[in-house]
């Protein structure tokens, strides 16, 4: 069995979500000890050796520094990426991981909306149905009457979600003419340089206890970038976006394992609705996305 088209991209996105969730749990650990821009820089610095090693292994260094790259789009995407990461880390200082994810789930809807005018993609009715159902689950889990929705950390996470949607759509636009490796390399480079320059004034000495966390941050961040880039390179953005909702499962798990925060009935109910929307779209995409090869 070989997966092609949207189904292949859906699987890549589900795997990317696992790696991103692990990375975000580590970011939350670091957010309690270091300024947001420093953590952004560390996110990039820890990934540079892995990304560079991947580029050299694939013998694609020439592609990364090609004169034909769309430099303006890369620069714009890099600036948005630094802002996105710093805002999200700032939000993690006061919000739980599951709570931050719930707020950030507006991003898939924004991606779908931006994909229509920017990428000229047609959003099919089933994509809108899955997104609408998923967002209903977000509202259930969020409980907008809670104070957490209105604090500064929540506003930062919502702004980060807008940046993420813009970055994703720009990445898809760039990938039409460039290989995935250029996106991964320049995204990592932008976080490293941007975070380091902007956060230099408030830099804090790294504690010994956090070095293993930094190692894990580099590995998971690199794998997540590769997976999500491949997902949006081969599939339709409006079909892939709903599967980012599966991150709520991992966020709830990490909140309990690391911070002993137990989700309530609202969070579990909202999560169930979100997952149901993803399963619905998988069922509808599978007949077109899976090809069975002869033995």
pLDDT in tens, 104-113: 877 776 777 7
CA distance 201 to 82: 16
By mean pLDDT, which of 173-182, 187-196, 285-294 is the weakest?
285-294
Average pLDDT, integer, range 10-15:
87
Query: 252: how many CB neighbours lie within 10 A of its CB?
Result: 22
Contact present, 244 and 12 (Cβ < 8 Å): no
Q: What angle do CA 119, 110, 290 make, to 5 degrees?
A: 65
pLDDT at residue 49 is higher than 60:
yes
**Which of 162-176, 204-218, 225-239, 255-269 comes out lowest in average pLDDT?**
225-239
Q: What is the pLDDT of residue 194?
A: 95
Residue range 192-214: average pLDDT?
95
Higher pLDDT pick, 24 / 10: 24
According to the model, what pLDDT value does residue 293 have? Answer: 29
For 118-170, write each residue's pLDDT tens digit: 777 777 787 778 778 878 887 787 676 655 455 788 889 889 988 998 998 88
CA distance readout (Å), 130 to 124, 158, 168, 259, 279? 10, 21, 19, 31, 9
Give the Cα-Cα-Cα angle 72, 84, 57 (nearest 5 degrees). 65
- Give phi and psi for 96, each to the nearest 5: -75, 160
pLDDT band for position 193 (cuts 50, 70, 90):
very high
pLDDT in tens, 74-102: 999 999 999 999 999 999 998 889 888 88
Collapsing DSSP to helix, strand or coil, 293 comes out as coil
Per-residue pLDDT, 145: 61
Report pLDDT for 175: 84
> Which residues fall within 8 angstroms of residue 212, CB to CB, at 6 or more apart?
none
Q: Is the pTM of this model over 0.85?
A: no
Structural domain spans, the chain: 2-286
Do 133 and 126 touch, CB atoms closer than 8 A?
no
């Amino acid at each position: 069995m070989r997966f092609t088209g949207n189904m292949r991209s859906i699987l890549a996105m589900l795997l990317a979500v696992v790696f991103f969730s692990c990375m975000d749990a580590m970011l939350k650990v670091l957010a309690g000890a270091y300024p947001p821009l420093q953590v952004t820089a560390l996110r990039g610095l820890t990934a540079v050796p892995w990304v560079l090693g991947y580029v050299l292994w694939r013998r694609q260094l020439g592609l990364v520094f090609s004169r034909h790259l769309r430099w303006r789009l890369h620069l714009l995407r890099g600036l948005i990426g630094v802002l996105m990461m710093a805002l999200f880390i700032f939000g993690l200082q006061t919000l739980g991981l599951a709570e931050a994810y719930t707020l950030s789930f507006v991003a898939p809807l924004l991606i779908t909306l931006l994909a229509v005018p920017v990428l000229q993609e047609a959003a099919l009715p089933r994509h809108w149905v899955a997104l609408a159902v998923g967002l209903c689950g977000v509202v259930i889990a969020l409980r907008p009457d809670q104070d957490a929705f209105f604090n500064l950390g929540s506003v930062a996470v919502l702004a980060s979600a807008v940046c993420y949607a813009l970055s994703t759509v720009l990445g898809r636009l760039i990938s039409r003419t460039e290989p995935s490796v250029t996106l991964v390399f320049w995204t990592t480079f932008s976080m490293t340089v941007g975070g380091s320059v902007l956060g230099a004034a408030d830099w804090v000495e790294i504690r010994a206890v956090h070095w293993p966390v930094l190692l894990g941050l580099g590995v998971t961040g690199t794998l997540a970038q590769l997976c999500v880039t491949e997902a949006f390179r081969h599939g339709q953005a409006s079909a892939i976006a709903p599967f980012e909702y599966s991150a709520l499962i991992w966020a709830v798990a990490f909140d309990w394992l690391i911070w002993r925060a137990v989700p309530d009935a609202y969070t579990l109910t909202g999560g169930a609705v979100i997952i149901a929307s993803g399963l619905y779209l998988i069922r509808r995409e599978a007949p077109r996305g899976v090809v069975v090869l002869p033995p």
